[in-house]
């Protein structure tokens, strides 16, 4: 071994943050492995680090016996007393020092690899222990490189990964850019600790407000929940443990400086700050802001609410592509169905009409049933007599009769609907058949018109023949006078000659 081993151990311990004892143990283990590769795996070796001389001493262990059966593991008593220890007894184990310089090149290289691997494993374990307790915190890093659509972020001692699904769609980064992200998970893998970051997690919004709002950090203002649609809009619910502190005002800050700092970090993401209260119906109304809610129908069994808003504010309550009502539902944990007043009134009218049509159900009873959540005769037919008794106060026998009447009414309505559908289908078929017959008649009329045209064509042909005959007769008439005049001229000439 080299004489400066002490300095090397101290330097590695300082740079890697590894405990000195762990590093020494790794070196000793590597030296034992090298000795076994050189002298044989069946022999027994021990290694001890000596800081005084800066070496790792290698010893071979042998048992003192009378008759040596295996020279690699045993030593004769007389030889042991003569060469090693005169006071040795039978059965004692003696350590004989071995010169480490006789190790071969392969053994020395293997020892080096073992030391490097052990140092790397210890370093990974230290990093994992450091970051596993930081899950849920914000960290600063530098964009180091890109792997497919994932971003590798340098956190100093190690690298973290920002997966594509944890990135805000509108954000773009270049190599060397500084980035702040939220630690989602820390896991130990075969390749070392894997730290997963996120810029879309609602926890990042909460941590940013903790850094910007001292009242949250001190516990005066408490964050009750957050919901985000990354890059678009976010909602955060806060409450105050001090009646003199306004939680919403504390988060907004003077002239909006605090919330604007968070908005800038999230690259322009709009943030709604909601004042949390224990009364869930009022909490949902506040979460739907800026829309004004006029009425809420709560269903605790389904953990949902039907929210009624003015007609002109329905689009405001729902938000762009349903964003506002969706975020409010995530923030409060309640299923929210936003409806307009006119739509709710129409549904209420139809529900009361359906319930009142059941024999034995008065208008007052229909109103009680509707207010209890029954919106049609079909809903009522599936109820239990005890439920009707509890709502209306009527006897169980009468409640059973009403339920039977509701079931019969529903069956009659279904049969009537089926007949109407059948009649409508039959009417459509008859209309289709009538239309087909009209098309057939039209086609036959067009076919009958062909002979008329043919007759016309024949007449035209006869006319052409007549015209041809007349032209021929006229030509003959012209030629005959011409011939007569020729004969007259000949007779005149003969007379003159005479």
CATH code of the domain in which 109 resides: 3.30.1480.10
For residue 197, what pLDDT is reported?
A: 95
- Alpha carbon distance 224, 442 (integer Å): 76
Domain total for the chain?
A: 4
Domain C-terminal end among 378, 401, 428: 428
Distance CA 21, CA 27 (A): 10
Question: Looking at residues 321-345, what average pLDDT do you find?
Answer: 90
Q: Is residue 329 part of a domain?
A: yes
Q: How many CB atoms lie within 10 A of CB 139?
A: 17
| Domain C-terminal end among 85, 107, 128 | 128
User: Residue 286 and residue 300: Cα distance in Å, rounded?
Assistant: 19
Domain CATH code at residue 379? 1.10.150.20
Inside any domain, residue 164: yes
Q: Within this chain, do residues 153 and 95 fall inside the same structural domain, yes or no?
A: no
Mean pLDDT of 471-492: 40
Per-residue pLDDT tens over the stretch 386-417:
887 777 777 777 878 788 888 888 888 888 88
Q: Which domain holds residue 155?
A: 134-198
- Whether residue 124 is found in the same domain as residue 139: no
Q: Residue 214 domain-assigned?
A: no
- Residue 273 has a pLDDT of 94
Same domain membership, residue 175 and residue 148: yes
Instruction: Tell me the average pLDDT of the chain.
Output: 79
Q: What is the DSSP string of 350-388?
A: HHHHHHHTSTT--HHHHHHHHHTT--SHHHHHTS-HHHH
Instruction: Say yes or no: 25 and 92 in one domain.
Output: yes
Are 19 and 99 members of one domain? yes
- One domain for residues 332 and 282: yes
Write the DSSP string, 163-206.
-GGGS-TT----TT-EEEEEEEEEEEETTEEEEEEESS-HHHHH
If you average pLDDT over each of 57-66, 75-84, 275-284, which comes out highest? 275-284
Q: Quick check: pTM over 0.85?
A: no
Mean pLDDT over 201-230 rounds to 94
More confident site: 311 or 475: 311
Backbone angles phi, psi at 483, to 5 degrees: -65, -40
Lowest-pLDDT range of 45-54, 223-232, 255-264, 268-277: 45-54
Q: Are 119 and 39 in a shared domain?
A: yes
**Residues 230, 268 contacting (CB under 8 angstroms):** no
CA distance 286 to 410: 40
Same domain, 13 and 111: yes
283-287, 331-335, 409-413: least confidently modelled range: 409-413
Q: What is the pLDDT of residue 98?
A: 75
User: How far is residue 132's CA from residue 129's CA, in Å, rounded to a whole number?
Assistant: 5
Check residue 100 and give its pLDDT. 67
Within this chain, do residues 103 and 35 fall inside the same structural domain, yes or no?
yes
**319 and 380, same domain (yes or no):** no
11 and 124, same domain (yes or no) = yes
Q: Say whether both 312 and 384 belong to one domain.
A: no
């Amino acid at each position: 071994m080299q004489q400066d081993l002490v300095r090397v151990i101290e330097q590695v311990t300082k740079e890697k943050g590894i405990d000195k004892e762990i590093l020494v143990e790794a070196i000793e283990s590597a030296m034992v492995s090298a000795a076994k590769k050189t002298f044989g795996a069946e022999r027994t070796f021990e290694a001890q680090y000596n800081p005084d001389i800066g070496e790792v001493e290698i010893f071979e262990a042998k048992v003192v016996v009378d008759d040596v059966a295996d020279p690699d593991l045993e030593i004769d008593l007389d030889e042991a007393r003569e060469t090693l220890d005169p006071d040795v007894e039978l059965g004692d184990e003696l350590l004989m020092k071995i010169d480490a310089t006789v190790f071969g090149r392969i053994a020395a290289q293997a020892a080096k690899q073992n030391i490097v691997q052990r140092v790397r494993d210890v370093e990974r374990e230290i990093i994992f222990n450091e970051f596993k307790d930081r899950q849920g915190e914000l960290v600063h890093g530098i964009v180091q490189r890109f792997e497919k659509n994932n971003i590798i972020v340098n956190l100093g001692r190690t690298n973290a990964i920002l997966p594509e699904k944890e990135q805000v769609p509108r954000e773009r980064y270049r190599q060397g850019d500084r980035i702040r992200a939220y630690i989602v998970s820390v896991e130990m893998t075969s390749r070392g600790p894997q730290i997963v970051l996120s810029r879309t997690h609602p926890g990042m919004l909460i941590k940013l407000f903790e850094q910007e709002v001292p009242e949250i950090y001190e516990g005066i203002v408490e964050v009750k929940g957050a919901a985000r649609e990354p890059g678009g809009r976010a909602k955060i619910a806060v409450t105050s443990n001090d009646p003199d502190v306004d939680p919403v005002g504390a988060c907004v800050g003077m002239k909006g400086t605090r919330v604007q700092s968070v908005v800038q970090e999230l690259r322009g993401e709009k943030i709604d700050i909601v004042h949390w209260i224990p009364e869930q119906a009022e909490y949902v109304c506040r979460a739907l802001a800026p829309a004004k809610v006029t009425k809420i129908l709560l269903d605790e069994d389904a953990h949902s609410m039907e929210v009624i808003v003015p007609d002109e504010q329905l689009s405001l309550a729902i938000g762009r592509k349903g964003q506002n009502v969706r975020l409010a539902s995530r923030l409060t944990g309640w299923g929210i169905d936003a409806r307009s007043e006119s739509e709710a009134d129409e549904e209420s009218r139809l529900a009361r009409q359906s319930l009142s049509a059941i024999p034995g159900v008065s208008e007052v009873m229909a109103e009680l049933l509707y207010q209890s959540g029954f919106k049609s005769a079909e809903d009522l037919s599936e109820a239990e007599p005890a439920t009707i008794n509890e709502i209306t106060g009527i006897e169980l026998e009468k409640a059973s009769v009403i339920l039977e009447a509701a079931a019969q009414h529903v069956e009659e309505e279904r049969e009537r609907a089926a007949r109407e559908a059948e009649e409508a289908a039959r009417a459509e078929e008859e209309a289709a058949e009538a239309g087909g017959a009209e098309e057939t008649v039209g086609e036959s009329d067009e076919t009958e018109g062909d002979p008329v045209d043919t007759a016309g064509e024949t007449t035209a042909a006869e006319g052409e023949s007549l015209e041809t005959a007349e032209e021929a007769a006229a030509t003959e008439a012209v030629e005959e006078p011409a011939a007569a005049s020729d004969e007259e001229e000949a007779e005149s000439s003969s007379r003159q000659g005479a």
